[in-house]
Structure 1
Amino acid sequence: MKSQRNKFHKSAIVFLGSLILFGCKTIEVAGVQEEQWGEIDGKEVFHYTLTNSNGVQVKITNFGGIITSILVPDNKGVLGDVVLGFDNLKQYQEGNPCFGATIGRFANRIRNGRFEIGGVIYQLEQNAGAYTLHGGNEFDRVVWDAQVVENGDTKAVKLHYLSKDGSKGFPGNLETYVTYTLTDDNSVEVHFEATTDKTTNVNMTQHSYFNLNGCREPIYDHSIKIAADNYTEIDDEIIPVGTIATVNNTDWDLTTMTRIGENIKKLDFNGYHYCYAFNKPLNKFEEVIEVVEPKSGRTLTVSTTQPGVQFYSGNTIGNKFIGKNNIQYADNMAFCLETQHFPDSPNHTNFPSTLFKPGEKYDELVVYKFGVTP
């Protein structure tokens, strides 16, 4: 039986005075286009296209809160897609390394899938060997409610999902919102918000795989700089051991602009897979990452309120995925900049806390700004 759009979605479309195009399944809202993309478990899945005054486009689906495409110009003004992904919903359903997904409740790893709150031990689903990865892949595998909203003078897509008490083992009913905005300075803003009715742990992130050369070649010629003098030391499972150490005199020191290919083959795990601790004050919104791709001239800067970033160089993408534009994906084809709190934070009191209580508001922001070199 055909599902109905939820009231959350309907009210936004009516409020914004959308123009429904006769004879097709497309809705136009100034700056935003919506189309039906399929159905999962009786829930309609939509694909949204945000376009700014420069012709830059970002596409998002309410399945998994996934960014499916980001089209930005190179230094000749030619638009290119700078994130990995697929052309259709079916491929996203079949499983992949979280291409473009919204991740929660807890990004990254939790050792043994376990933490303690107030003397109570909570056992989570262990979906990656002996640990829990990306919250058990809850947020990236569900259909979110969606509405088109106004964010200042700009239209945005706001997603909503209720993660129920006990889901994947986490305590508390977590009301979660993620708002995606494309601004006229070619920035993609991702705003995470949540409330809970029981003390829990929350750590959300955006999991796009970036390649500024248009995903045509590996990322080796990209150069990156991260404003982080320290990182979380890890074991063979890429889980923090509890110490925050200096990057000085390591092959993963990115405090100065560094070509990714310079040291990538020297590293364990087939490349970069480290959580960097930013130098900025806790909770302060600040620019912390710069990336430059020399052939296209495209640049990316990242600003965030979060205390760290998992820089992952696509080490295990593998060769089984054919992406958009019929491109064969492979290891090191793209990189992730997952701004977040540190992995396994609930089990390390010296890390910035991810404990989240009733009456509080979870509120984190990351902005990916695209440009070109002069």
Structure 2
Amino acid sequence: MNLKTLGVILCGVAIMQSCTSKNSDSTQASDSLKVNKIEKVAFGKLPDGTVADLYTLHNANGMEVKITNYGGTITSLTAPNKNGKYENVTLACDSLSGYLKGVPYFGALVGRYGNRIAKGKFTLDGKEYSLAQNNGVNALHGGKKGFDKVLWTATPIDGEEPQLKLNYTSADGEEGYPGKLEVEVVYTLQKDNSLKIDYKATTDKATVVNLTNHTYFNLTGDANKEILDHELTLQADKFVPVNETLIPTGELKAVAGTPFDFTTTHKIGERINDTKDIQIKYGKGYDHCWVFTDSGNQLKNVASVYEATSGRLMEVLTTEPAIQFYTGNFLDGSVIGKGGIPAKFRTGFCLETEHYPDSPNQPKFPTTVLKPGETYQTTTVYKFSSK
């Protein structure tokens, strides 16, 4: 073998080693995409020029959750279908400007008081408080500028399971509520493809608190499709009847024998138009609070939703005593969602874990009063899988 031939062979070996190294790096880069991590980008500007940010939490399975500190809003949550494909399963907007135009609480943190308070008034310790009447004559979801429309202080927390901690201080008298309320909400994207939400609050004056998340889900992964074929199970033997303005009558009614019985699995659309039932008529479908058979404050599995076409299953666990099930009855296509898709009638459903609506005016309901020295603390988990 002459030197020229030897040189060609050595050059060929070097090229092969280089290609092998590049292929190895490429594989590692691909694998590195599936790790627990948090990304931050600017999401847009508020009218006063303040920048809102968007945080993306990833887990090693390939699931991701996008959350903006404007309203603590979930703008995307991906879940696997039966073929392992991850798709967004929430209703949301593409940009901050979409939310600023006004949306029906897409993905938002709701407070101080989730759900309705009759006539925007309640009495606490002998003093009457007046709130904004932003839902007909009633107060809804914290008022005209509730927690869904404020900028939260965000702290990303790297770790085995990525977290986003959000903090907000609600001033004494904000939206009519008494007491300076210090609120902390932590979103955790867990290894088992579940999103855990931990809520905490303290106050310097007696007040009422009922925090929740208002994400609209559509497990098909297609926001054009209705949610009527989704199959729902609720571990709840009672619900809260309402009047024509959707305020509780004060009683609890057994679900047995009514369109509200989901103790065994039913498709959402199976009985949703049964307007012979006055409660269905009042809600224009389902927009009611169910009371769990086990209303204890330990973390418990309370609901599941299955969508057969995609094979997606969502389970809900919570420490709360009740849940508001809402079927998008007031969506009318006027709000434009992701990809320019209008949010149409019954294309999303909500499962908002909570205390009962109008509890401050209902002495028989579990109290939502928080006093100085006490800590409001609840947890809800949305777990996703496929079958």
* 1:33 equivalenced with 2:18 (yes/no): no
Specify the code of the residue in structure 2 equivalent to 1:281: S
For residues 15-44 of structure 1, give each alpha carbon's deviation from its aligned partner in whole angstroms, at most 9, with x where no partner exists: xxxxxxxxxxxxxx9510000112222432
Separation (CA, whole Å) in 2 of partners of 1:281 and 1:316:
29
Deviates more, 1:66-75 or 1:316-325: 316-325
1:87-236 equivalences in 2 (<5 Å): 87-136=94-143, 137-150=145-158, 153-214=160-221, 215-236=223-244
* Contact 2:93/2:337 (<8 A) preserved: yes
Q: Secondary structure at 1:240's aligned position in 2?
A: coil
Q: Secondary structure at 1:242's aligned position in 2?
A: coil
* 1:323 equivalenced with 2:333 (yes/no): no
CA RMSD of aligned residues (A): 1.3
Specify the code of the residue in structure 2 equivalent to 1:223: E
Separation (CA, whole Å) in 2 of partners of 1:242 and 1:121:
20
Runs of 4+ residues deviating >4 angstroms? none
* Contact 2:312/2:384 (<8 A) preserved: yes
1:1-374 equivalences in 2 (<5 Å): 31-40=37-46, 41-136=48-143, 137-150=145-158, 153-214=160-221, 215-266=223-274, 267-268=280-281, 269-373=283-387
Superposition deviation, residue 287 in structure 1 = 0.5
Separation (CA, whole Å) in 2 of partners of 1:125 and 1:216:
34
Specify the code of the residue in structure 1 equivalent to 2:335: F
Superposition deviation, residue 113 in structure 1 = 0.9
Superposition deviation, residue 326 in structure 1 = 2.9
Specify the code of the residue in structure 1 equivalent to 2:156: V
Q: Which has the higher strand share?
A: 1
Q: Secondary structure at 2:384's aligned position in 1?
A: strand
Using structure 2 for the length normalisation, give the TM-score: 0.87
Separation (CA, whole Å) in 2 of partners of 1:257 and 1:44:
44
Superposition deviation, residue 251 in structure 1 = 1.2
Separation (CA, whole Å) in 2 of partners of 1:338 and 1:298:
19
Q: Secondary structure at 1:261's aligned position in 2?
A: helix
Deviates more, 1:273-282 or 1:87-96: 273-282
Separation (CA, whole Å) in 2 of partners of 1:51 and 1:153:
11
| Structure (1 or 2) with the larger CA radius of gyration | 2
Q: Which residue of 2 aligns with 1:7?
A: none
Separation (CA, whole Å) in 2 of partners of 1:281 and 1:245:
15
For residues 211-270 of structure 1, give each alpha carbon's deviation from its aligned partner in whole angstroms, at most 9, with x where no partner exists: 000124100110000000001111001110111111111112111100111111113232
Specify the code of the residue in structure 2 equivalent to 1:35: V
Deviates more, 1:30-39 or 1:78-87: 30-39
Superposition deviation, residue 143 in structure 1 = 0.7
* Contact 2:67/2:75 (<8 A) preserved: yes
Aligned residues: 344
Separation (CA, whole Å) in 2 of partners of 1:329 and 1:116:
37
Superposition deviation, residue 358 in structure 1 = 0.4
* Contact 2:36/2:59 (<8 A) preserved: no
Specify the code of the residue in structure 2 equivalent to 1:283: N
